Amino acid sequence: MRPTGFVTAVLLAAASCSAFAPRQSASSIGHDPTAAPIETRLCMNKKKKSSRKKTGGKGFGGGGSVSALTSPSDDFPVMPKAKPNFRYAGTIRPGAQSARRIVPTDRINKIPDYANDGIPRNRPALFPWVIETKSPDEIEKMRASGRCAREVLDMAGRAVKPGVTTDEIDRLVHELSIENGAYPSPLNYHNFPKSCCTSVNEVICHGIPDNRPLEEGDIVNIDITCYLNGYHGDCSEMFVVGGEAALDNKGRRLIHSRFAHIDCWVQALNFVKPGNDYKDIGAIIEDHVVEQGFTTVKSFCGHGYLHYRNSEPAGKMAAGHTFTIEPMICEGSADYLLWDDEWTATTRDGGRSAQFEHTLLITPDGVEALTGKIETSPVQFWERESEFHNGVWLGTSASAKEREAKLNSSLLAS
């Protein structure tokens, strides 16, 4: 069975915690751009379907539906459900989870449909090649949600230090999202218990923030999605606990520009332009990763296309399309192990995994990142050292390249 889609930004076609975009039914393509926009649908990367029964309370040991808008009745902190004899792949273990954080509705102008009971009701188009074209108004709203997600991700990255818990990072993400007038999209999506995903070391995706302190040398992916004015902005980035000096050589190869992840990611980003096939993104990613001795995850996908070589019909790119690129790269086997919380997915062999993500807008002359770095963003060491693309990446369109050059002249000089 083919994998189905997960989280976060703009849905390209059929499908992420990790793509989101405003969603229309097949019959609404070519709708009047002056009409009211259709509400964005959130989706988190999905694994292949399992035969085991699902429960409503993922992350808290089962139970019925919960709400992100009212105070939780459970006693906290709690440990997520886990079999006593469960064989974990690496060193990461489930930690205690604090109470579900509440979203004050008087500070948010639009709440996603799943916030109150965990059930998303907005459905994707029937066929993956049915792709909506955003109106100018929709694009501007997506720019705003993308910038909001970028500001939250930058803040979360600055908090990554030895001794800081991922639960503390989640608190900061929750509070800044609300301060910006946005709903933290992962919260209560199918009852996901937190406001962001924090995936440490061997965790591929959907790591639930908890009370485990980060340790020097850990690598952590923070996946942020913000729902602002009816639109989701989605991005993620890797961070090294303790900085560049704390990262071993294999870890550098996994995420560094000259080697595996960033290099294949930027190559895939540069491929995006009107007329190209969405399915070809996967080949660009997998071919480069395999050549460098790494693997790309095939059991999780989202955003309407696959992150590995394939011949699936996913449509052609066109100006006005929005989607995300979010490859998951592993230093060993790409096979996954799903924890009993039914969210956390780790590599089966305990090897580390890495991912980066942008929400993208296809323009008539290329592509631009709606979640690109801004004037206050920190620059990672691999962005300074890259031989493939020096500095931050904002896109290939003329306007994006102009903004990128100006931003890099400022950020790289500091």
Better-predicted residue by pLDDT, 359 or 309: 359
41 or 210: which leads in pLDDT? 210
What is the pLDDT at residue 89?
Answer: 96
> In the CATH hierarchy, which fold is given to the domain comprising 5-46+56-371?
Creatine Amidinohydrolase (3.90.230)
Please give the annotated binding residues for substrate, written as ranges.
206
- In order of 83, 92, 160, 172, 378, the CA distances from 166 in angstroms are 23, 13, 8, 10, 20
Cα maximum dimension of the chain: 57
Residue 35, pLDDT > 50, answer: no
Confidence category of residue 384, pLDDT binned at 50, 70, 90 = confident
Distance CA 381, CA 371 (A): 19
Task: Specify the pLDDT at position 122.
Answer: 79
Distances in Å between the Cα of 87 and the Cα atoms of 324, 340, 402 are 33, 11, 51
Please determine, for residue 40, whether its predicted confidence score (pLDDT) is greater than 60: no
pLDDT at 7 over 70: no
Chain mean position to CA 357: 6
Residue 45's pLDDT band (cuts 50, 70, 90): low
- Residues in the annotated binding site: 206, 223, 234, 303, 326, 357
Q: Which of 141, 116, 131 is nearest to 29 (CA)?
A: 131
Q: Does residue 18 carry a pLDDT above 80?
A: no
Sign of CA dihedral 368, 257, 200, 343: positive
- Is a pLDDT exceeding 90 seen at residue 189? yes
Cis peptide before 364 (omega within 30 of 0): no
Q: Residue 3 pLDDT more than 70?
A: no
Q: Is the pLDDT of residue 85 over 80?
A: yes
Beta bridge partners of 353: 330
Residue 30 has pLDDT above 60, yes or no: no
Strands (E), 159-218: 183-184, 197-200, 203-205
Q: Which residues are annotated as a binding site for a divalent metal cation?
A: 223, 234, 303, 326, 357
Q: What is the dihedral of CA 235, 238, 244, 247, to 10 degrees?
A: -170
Q: What is the mean pLDDT of residues 86-99?
A: 96
Given a cut of 60, whether residue 34 has pLDDT beyond it is no
The yes-or-no verdict on residue 21 having pLDDT over 60 is no
**Quick check: 10 pLDDT over 70?**
no
Which pLDDT score is estimated for 62?
40
Look at residue 292 in the predicted model and tell me its pLDDT: 84
